[in-house]
């Protein structure tokens, strides 16, 4: 530790103390009062669903539309031979 110097050694000890105590304090704050956690998480909307769009046609509706298109094509005189 003598190669680090006294001021750098104290700084490292202080940083380690901060790294250890901050998570402990936060855990203690939220674990002992769940209202804090609800208040903190209630301010953010984590899931945002897109607005509902028009539903696609059902398979039966698609079949009916295909039949109508085929009838129109056949009835319009599609004999181009």
* Rounded Cα distance, 42 and 33, in Å: 15
Counting Cβ atoms within 10 Å, is residue 30 exposed (0-12), middle (13-18) or buried (19+)? middle
Predicted pLDDT at 3: 57
What is the CB neighbour count within 10 angstroms for residue 36?
13
- What pLDDT, in 10s, does the model give residues 23-75? 999 888 888 888 887 787 777 777 777 888 888 999 999 999 999 999 999 98
Question: Which residue from 29, 48, 49, 50 is spatially nearest to 40, judged by alpha carbons?
Answer: 29
pLDDT band of 16, cuts 50, 70, 90: very high
């Amino acid at each position: 530790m003598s190669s680090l110097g006294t001021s750098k050694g104290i700084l490292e000890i202080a940083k380690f103390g901060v790294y250890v105590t901050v998570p402990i304090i936060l855990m203690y704050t939220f674990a002992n009062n769940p209202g804090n956690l609800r208040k903190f998480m209630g301010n953010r909307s984590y899931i945002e669903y897109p607005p509902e769009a028009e539903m696609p046609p059902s398979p039966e509706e698609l079949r009916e539309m295909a039949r109508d298109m085929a009838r129109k094509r056949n009835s319009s005189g599609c004999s181009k031979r």
